[in-house]
Amino acid sequence: QMSANDCQDPPEYWTIHGLWPNRAEECNRTWHFNVTEIKDLMSDMRRYWPDVLHSSQNCTHFWRHEWEKHGTCAATLQILNSQKKYFGKALELYQHLDLNRCASDFIIYPSFLIFQMTAIKEALTSFYGVTLKIQCLPPEEGEKAQTIGQIEFCFSKKLELRNCTELTGGSEWMQADLELGTGELSVCDDTLPTYYPSQVQ
């Protein structure tokens, strides 16, 4: 709905926003993105890590941003120390976590799509065994429900799931990244009714 958005036919399932090390960005400005290093990942990248804010011709802009801002920092870990490892591991985690299946099994019911935020959190915690961080768009004028816009998983340096509530400090690094396209996202309000996007099922 952004005025500068030329998005066409956005995916009707959860996609990847990024794989972000905590409180770090632009660690190596000389390590530029090279799309040829991930050419064998391109099919999965286009499907599961699309740039929904720009046309398909510019799809590498989003990946370049994620690599240069976050990937070069994540690359301090051996398991992520190349572009292929960084993007490949993010895709692997996405497939393993399978948020789309979790959502259809535990959250989405055909009769209604408005939930209490606490019920959504409980369902996700029950499925994954850890506390996730859920961001919402606030209610639009005349509406009462907030809309889930992003669900964040937290990992240890060994890339094992951990509670997002265990993280200390602020989230300025994350908020700065959200401003790329969805600056209104914020931690969901537990007291508001919550709309779960109907396409994600």
Catalytically annotated residues: 17, 66, 70
Name the H helices within 69-191: 72-74, 83-97, 99-106, 117-128, 172-178
Structure tokens at 44: 């999965």
Return the closest-CA partner of residue 132 out of 97, 88, 169.
Answer: 97
The two three-digit tokens of residue 141, written as one number: 């004028």
Calpha distance 52→13 (Å, rounded):
12
